[in-house]
Chains A and B, each alone.
Chain A
Amino acid sequence: MVEPPSLLPEANGLAGNGQAPRLERRIRYAFADRRFLAMLGGRNAGSFFFISGRGKIIRALAGFLHETIMLILSGDPDLIEIVSLTFRVSGIALLFSSLVGIPLGVFLGLRRFRGRRLLISLLYTGMGFPPVVIGLLVYMLLSRSGPLGTIQSEIIPRLFTPSAMVMAQTIISFPLVAGFTMAAVMGVDQQLRQQISALGATGYQTARTVLMEARTGVIVSVIAGFGSIISEVGAVMLVGGNIDHKTRVLTTAIVLETRKGNFELASSLGIILLSLSFLVNLAMMLLQGRSFDE
């Protein structure tokens, strides 16, 4: 059995303190597992990119999956902390963007007023805005020389805190939630709106009923909003700073580990991010019952 080349930082000269962080030590344990080594077939087992041939790629993928499972089963506190912060930041941001975006989408979908087209154009622009630019904007707003940085207030987040990350992610996702909700509401039959009103509904009741009729589209808008922030790295890196035990989330951890050459750990974190994202989307659909089957 050939020992795979070590990709741990101290072995590659990337981190010379000789003391590997806890999360990386878990990977070393995973590699020490004999069954895992056998599955990878020994040579170049440490790197997906050096393996040629379909069989070896499949074996390497299986190895990554095995490693990921080991990592999850290990119950590593660092991993739990990163995953929990990721979902806390993105969850709160999604909640805020839904609270603002869904009513705004309904309003734009149902009401006709001067300046509506301009507002919709701005919203569409926001939907395609690069997250890193929003990160830069939030950074400049919250920095000491920025307009919000000088204000001492509980409700204004500080840079390099999870609150700043929430603010950036809210700005990224709310145009998507509002835009897709608006499209879903506009897709509801105009005559049905008249019928609801003719049955004696107030403006609020009409809006609520139309929203219920458009629920499949509204769920899609929330899922799109979630997808845009859970996978986002530029803005959270800028305003969060990727500080260990403070603002490190899954995406920024993946970037860091990739830069350090820890492809296994980066891949495992990627698989965890993908799996959790899939589970959240699945849960959202299940919560909405049979809407998607109609």
Chain B
Amino acid sequence: MNESIYRLAGVTKVYDKHQVLALGDLDVHRGEVLAIVGPSGAGKSTLLRLLNFVEPPTAGTITFDGHTFGPEDTVPLAIRRRVTTVFQRPLLLKQSVQANVGFGLKLRGIRQVREEVFAALDRVRLRDLARQKATTLSGGEAQRVALARAMALRTDVLLLDEPTANLDPYNVGAIEAIVEEVNADLGTTVILVTHNVFQARRLAHRVGLLLDGELIEVSPVGEFFDSPVDPRTAAFARGEMIY
């Protein structure tokens, strides 16, 4: 469990001379669910973009499964394809549900995607909607389709950017159950970014607090909530931090 899939060393990200991330060091263990909590604007989504290799860091290195990449390095497509993200909004294509779920597989040149697509749709319990246009789905259904699209790829890492924000309790429960299942059954490493401390407590093995782009504390879920080291973590966990 403690083997690192990610190792971040001295990572910073600067946009227009404004530093939005100064992480220091962070290890992500293979097969764990790591929740990064923090208020809006703390740099959580930026962190996910770096972890998905969509953007390079301004300084520092990101080591992924033994491969180290700095600001100037080009990340090979094969590495990029071992990680995927589900964003807060479902961001589906104007196609059928089935086509959306199979989209990532087709990008990888896989032609026969039907079996994988329906297996993923079964996991999110939306097989019946396979032929429906994605634009006609409800918010919760669309987010489950987005999750199915990511799961069909069977990537090593699944990055979730506030995946249940603005969803009703039923869909929040359904998505949390799917995430737990993916982590337990497929061994997928999940990095969940959320400002919902309750969700972090329910899903994560470890939790990290990000404040103003700085990683304050990362610890196992029990310690994070019951005996935090940093007073800011304690304040955030108790819901006393104003943001």
Contacts and interface: CB of A to CB of B under 8 A. Distances in A.
Interface of A: 189, 191-192, 194-195, 197-202, 205, 209, 212-213, 294
Contacts of B89: 191
B54 A200 contact: no
A213 B52 CA distance: 23
Interface string B49-90: 100101000000000000000000000010011011101010
Nearest to B150: A199
Given A198-B87, A294-B135, 13 more contacts: A191-B87, A192-B91, A194-B54, A194-B87, A195-B91, A198-B54, A199-B103, A200-B84, A200-B108, A201-B107, A209-B93, A209-B103, A294-B94
A267 to B, nearest CB: 43
B20 to A, nearest CB: 16
B85 A198 contact: yes
B91 A200 contact: no
Contacts of A200: 77, 80-81, 84, 104, 107-108, 153
Interface residues of B toward A: which range?
Answer: 20 to 34
A212 B100 CA distance: 13
A195 B107 CA distance: 13
9 contacts: A191-B89, A191-B91, A194-B49, A198-B52, A198-B83, A199-B150, A200-B80, A200-B108, A209-B93
B44 interface: no
B152 to A, nearest CB: 10
B49 to A, nearest CB: 7
B54 A202 contact: no
B149 interface: yes
B84 A198 contact: yes
Contacts of B83: 198
A268 B91 CA distance: 51
Cβ-closest 8 pairs across A and B: A200-B81, A198-B85, A195-B91, A199-B104, A192-B91, A198-B52, A201-B107, A200-B107
Nearest to B85: A198
A interface majority secondary structure? helix
User: B52, B54, B91, B93: which has the most chain A beta carbons within 10 Å?
Assistant: B91
User: A197, A209, A212: which has the most chain B beta carbons within 10 Å?
Assistant: A197
A93 B81 CA distance: 41
Contacts of B108: 200
Nearest to A206: B107
A195 B85 contact: yes
Contact of B77 (A191, A194, A202): A202
Nearest to A209: B93
B146 to A, nearest CB: 8
Nearest to A214: B94
B54 A213 contact: no
B103 A213 contact: no
Contacts of A194: 49, 54, 87
Given A198-B52, A199-B149, A189 B94 contact: no
Contacts of B81: 200
Contacts of A199: 84, 103-104, 107, 149-150, 153
A241 B151 CA distance: 63
A200 B75 CA distance: 12
Nearest to A215: B94
Nearest to A200: B81
A199 B110 CA distance: 14
A194 B87 CA distance: 9
Nearest to A199: B104
Contacts of A192: 91, 93
Interface string B93-113: 110000000011001100000
A194 B159 CA distance: 13
A192 B150 CA distance: 14
Contacts of B80: 200
B94 A213 contact: yes
User: B94, B149, B153: which has the most chain A beta carbons within 10 Å?
Assistant: B94
B77 A197 contact: no
Contacts of A202: 77, 107
A281 B80 CA distance: 42
B87 A205 contact: no
User: A195, A202, A209: which has the most chain B beta carbons within 10 Å?
Assistant: A195
B128 to A, nearest CB: 22
A236 B178 CA distance: 64
Contacts of A189: 91
